[in-house]
Amino acid sequence: MATTTAPPKKRSNLTKGFEMFGRSFLLPVSVLPAAGILQGLGSAFTNGDTVKMYPWMQNEVFQFVMGFLSKMGSAAFNNLPLIFAVGVAVGLAKHEKGSAAISGLLGFLTLHTMLNFLLTATGKLVSTAGLEDTAAKLALAAKMQTTVLGIQTMDLNVFGGIITGVIVYFVHKRAIKMHVPKVLDFFSGPRLVPILIMPVMALAAVAFFFVWPTVQAGIAALSVLILKSGSIGTFFYGVIERLLLPFGLHHGLNWPVRTTELGGIFTIAGTEYHGTIAAYMASLAHGGWIDPMITRFSSGKFVYNMFGLSGAALAMYSCAKPENKKKVGSLLFAAAATAFLTGVTEPIEFTFLFVAPALYGIHAVLAGTTMAVTSALGASYLTPTGHGLINYIIYGVLQGPRTHWWLMPIVGVFCFGLYYMVFRFAIMKFDFKTPGREDDGSEIVLHGKDETRKKMGVRTLKDDQKAASGKLSDHDQAMALIKAHGGPDNIEAVDACITRLRINVKDKAQVDAQTIVNDLGAMGFNESGMQMQSIYGGHANVLKMEIQDMLGMTE
């Protein structure tokens, strides 16, 4: 049966902005899985309850190694605001990412240094002289203050880092294209960004000083509302998060909950932690009971990733035509095993989204139900990312009985059966053409997210970026640039600086600047004597080397 492709839907600026914001989190959070494993393993073998149960762990060398791993992982979790300040700035910047990175760091330091100055000048800086560490933290928390990189400042938490990264992005976007007087030319472009970011972040500090207490009170109130929503809130979170996945918008929901006050404010061993990841890691480090409210947006994901989608895969296999079951079984088993072991679910989810979006809607409801039930039963395990067997063992089983890890396989059996029965019923009742049920003899394959989104007419930020960069390969783009500069005989030298491809020509009348800008992806074009300068950002050096190779030039 032939399939029709819906025309691409026009994406609103709000949708693009939300997706861009969500995707900017990917760089800073990419470090969290590795850091989480280190801290999870270290905490699992150093907490008092586990050591009492297994006397062999009391070995000093073993405890030193495990403590070493735990501290190594905590370096990331204890500095999340700074990581987000740099990571978001780099993630949002399209060019000169090195400049964005150093500007993010400098902007973050400027923000908190100026906040310290303002608190001191107004007499609002809390004195912690003579107080023990726990008492000092409580005194600071009571006045919404904290210590960041040794600077006593307002407690902006991860929000401070995210907002810094966003501000740096807007400054960076404009500053790298600004023209400065020729005598100051050295400070133009990417060098100008960190210079400008200092006064900008100083002004931002003044705004934070007056506005943030009100904003933080509002965030705290929203956090309490989310926490009080209980199982109903968990259910709707699970449903919405799955429904956002096909559009690439789920990161904008997940990471604010995992890393900011929106995920909850939890007090552990006298210290406040904002967001579910920081609170869970602190709980592991300090031992004892773990609040299921910290993990309610994570525990159930293990269940439906490992068991629910396996049940869906079995349902699709059982509904396949007998002659197709062997091939279908091998494909679905591999996809289910991937989801079970690592938590990577795209091969299965996008397959039934491709053939029958209604099945995906059923999956979203079942996922939300699974998350609500698992949390209500008291499961208390969480992972920064990757809800599969490997992380379940590290963050659940190895942490001992306080995580109630045994609930996962128990709920999983019921989840497996529920997914199997519901999916099988829906497939047979509505004759959904899941793999192996095709009528036209087409090839039996699992469907990826790119072809599924194309069929649905859905465009993501990544699609827009691909379209903006053009379809030419580096080789073809270089060949076209040679032609646009009058051909090999008209080119004398090829070079590049950080952002500009510089080609010296014999006759500039042969140069087609319009084609270079409109068809070959240049962001700008300038002439300096007989030197033609095409602005390609960091890609300029790649094009330079391609053209030099084609023309037989060496540096």
Determine the angle formed by the axes of helices 32-44 and 276-286, rounding to 10 degrees: 20
Among residues 3, 497, 514, 528, the one annotated as catalytic is: 497
C-alpha 202: how far from its chain's center? 28
The amino acid sitting at 92 is: L
Give Cβ neighbours of residue 397 (< 8 Å, ≥ 6 apart): 403, 405
Q: Which strand (E) or helix (H) includes residue 500?
A: strand 500-505
Burial of 10 (0-12, 13-18, 19+ CB in 10 A): exposed
Task: Name the helix (H) or strand (E) containing 455.
Answer: helix 449-456
CB count within 10 Å of CB 489 equals 10
Quote the CA–CA distance of 315 and 417 in Å, as a whole number.
10
DSSP 206-256: HHHHHHHHHHHHHHHHHHHHHHHTHHHHHHHHHHHHHHHGGGT-THHHHHH
CB atoms within 10 A of CB 182: 7
As a whole number of angstroms, the distance between CA 546 and CA 555 comes to 12
Find tokens 């698992």 and name the residue.
Answer: 374
Strands (E), 116-223: 145-148, 151-154
> Is 497 part of the annotated catalytic residue set?
yes
Amino acid at 392: Y
The C-alpha atoms of residue 33 and residue 45 are separated, in whole angstroms, by 18
Q: For the chain, how big is the Rg over CA atoms in Å? A: 27
Q: Which two tokens stand for residue 62?
A: 């073993």
As annotated, the active-site residues are 497
